């Protein structure tokens, strides 16, 4: 009887599943050719023949969408592709920041590395090179964060077998440590806050300063606040948008995270300050007439136009220098509010919810300033402790 010829498989369909000695099933897949003409081959595995076939089909589908790293795909090419994948999921200004850091901070010789060949040593050397270039620790940390996320996506798509940036931490340079000692972003003491607010009375941005110290809003959230977000009857403020700067232009857009969308109680003293702000804004509108830019924003310039954080920080600096106070930034108002709540024994979970943090860990690790008086009170009096122990043992 004539032997029947084996049925020929279609081109690029890969091999049929075969059972290995270790009990697993395996398929070979051809994914085109390299520039030198060598074929690109992959092997997929499964517990059953059906699972192996599904893995092969999934790999070929990824390759068809350009999501499989061939031997020639570089780190730079993958970062460009990853940025496009992230575009629909993040704000335009955030995407620009990602792209700007990756393009500017990652050297060309790192971008030319094959994606599958990037090693942990390459990531460590990247941080060292950026430090030598004088790039700040925060900037380097954010660059590494973006790189780690891009490589994690590559790992989830089976483009690489391990994330070489996993567990790599940015090390602080001497210059970074000196900058950390600069208190511009740290919380103000109660006395410093009172002195500043007293000095700021009569300033056009006084009501803004008062609100940021009262509620701990991010400066962009405060500048994006609308009168329709302020409910005087129910004594609530709804945080729904923020003012951002994108390509040197002021934009109003979405908040940083889902946790940032929140409703906060409106304290009576702040309500009085905001009523005064509304009276001033109405007077400015009546004075300028059609020249006034009408909007629903609570905090605007005297012309009705939106403010940006640079305006706010300049005003803070001017007041501090005039009064001989420690110079700080608008973000220090947020630090001051959250630190005060934590010092008053408000639970970290509640403070995180008020701050718009997704986790209380962020609140405790980044926003809790320990003041000198707290450290002074916490120092142990050894003599008193020994005396207490003796008294306790004698009972």
Q: What is the pLDDT of residues 16-58, one digit of tens each?
A: 888 888 889 998 887 665 555 566 777 888 889 888 888 888 8
Q: What is the mean pLDDT of residues 50-77?
A: 76
Domain ranges of the chain: 18-64, 75-180, 183-374
90-138 pLDDT, tens digit per residue, is 888 888 899 999 999 999 999 999 999 999 999 999 999 999 999 988 8
Residue linked to tokens 């790599």: 168
75-180: which CATH topology? DNA polymerase; domain 1 (1.10.150)
183-374: which CATH topology? hpI Integrase; Chain A (1.10.443)
Please tell me the distance from the alpha carbon of residue 314 to that of residue 306, in angstroms, as a whole number. 15
Query: Percent of the chain scored above 90 by pLDDT?
Result: 56
- Count CA atoms within 13 Å of residue 169 on its CB side: 3
Supply the DSSP symbol for 36: T
337-359 pLDDT, tens digit per residue, is 999 999 999 999 999 999 999 99
The pLDDT assigned to 248 comes to 75
Nearest to 242 by CA among 216, 264, 215, 260: 260
Please tell me the distance from the alpha carbon of residue 333 to that of residue 331, in angstroms, as a whole number. 5
The pLDDT assigned to 13 comes to 60
Per the prediction, the chain carries an average pLDDT of: 87
Give yes or no for residue 385 having a pLDDT over 60: yes
Q: Is 88 or 378 the better-scoring residue by pLDDT?
A: 88
The pLDDT assigned to 278 comes to 96
289-299 pLDDT, tens digit per residue, is 999 998 999 99
Give yes or no for residue 85 having a pLDDT over 60: yes
Q: What is the mean pLDDT of residues 303-327?
A: 94
The pLDDT assigned to 392 comes to 79
Give yes or no for residue 68 having a pLDDT over 70: no
């Amino acid at each position: 009887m004539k032997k029947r010829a084996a049925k020929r498989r279609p081109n690029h369909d890969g091999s049929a599943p075969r059972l290995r000695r270790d009990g697993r099933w395996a398929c070979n897949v051809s994914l085109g050719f390299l520039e030198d003409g060598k074929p690109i081959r992959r092997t997929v595995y499964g517990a059953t023949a059906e699972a192996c076939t599904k893995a092969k089909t999934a790999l070929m589908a990824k390759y068809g969408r350009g999501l499989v790293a061939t031997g020639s795909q570089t780190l730079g090419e993958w970062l460009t592709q990853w940025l496009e994948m992230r575009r629909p999921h993040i704000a335009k200004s955030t995407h620009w920041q990602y792209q700007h850091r990756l393009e500017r901070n990652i050297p060309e010789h790192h971008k030319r590395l094959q994606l599958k060949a990037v090693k942990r040593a390459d990531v460590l050397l990247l941080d060292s090179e950026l430090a030598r270039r004088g790039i700040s620790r925060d900037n380097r940390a954010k660059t590494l964060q973006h790189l780690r996320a891009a490589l994690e996506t590559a790992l989830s798509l089976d483009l690489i077998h391990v994330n070489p940036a996993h567990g790599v931490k940015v090390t602080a340079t001497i210059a970074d440590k000196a900058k950390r000692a600069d208190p511009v972003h740290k919380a103000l003491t109660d006395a410093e806050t009172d002195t500043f607010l007293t000095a700021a009375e009569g300033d056009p941005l006084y009501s803004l300063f008062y609100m940021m110290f009262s509620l701990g809003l991010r400066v962009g959230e405060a500048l994006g606040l609308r009168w329709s977000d302020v409910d005087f009857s129910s004594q609530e403020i709804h945080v729904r948008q923020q003012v951002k700067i994108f390509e040197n232009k002021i934009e109003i857009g979405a908040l940083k995270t889902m946790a940032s969308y929140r409703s906060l109680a409106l304290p009576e003293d702040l309500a009085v300050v905001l009523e005064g702000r509304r009276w001033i804004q109405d007077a400015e509108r009546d004075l300028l007439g059609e020249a006034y830019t009408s909007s629903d924003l609570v905090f605007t310039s005297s012309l009705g136009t939106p403010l940006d954080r640079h305006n706010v920080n300049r005003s803070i600096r001017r007041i501090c220098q005039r009064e001989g106070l420690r110079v700080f930034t608008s973000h220090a108002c947020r630090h001051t509010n959250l630190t005060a709540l934590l010092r008053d024994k408000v639970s970290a979970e509640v403070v995180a919810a008020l701050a718009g943090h997704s986790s209380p860990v962020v609140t405790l690790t980044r926003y809790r300033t320990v003041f000198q008086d707290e450290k002074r009170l916490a120092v142990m009096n050894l003599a008193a402790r020994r005396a207490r122990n003796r008294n306790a043992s004698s009972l």
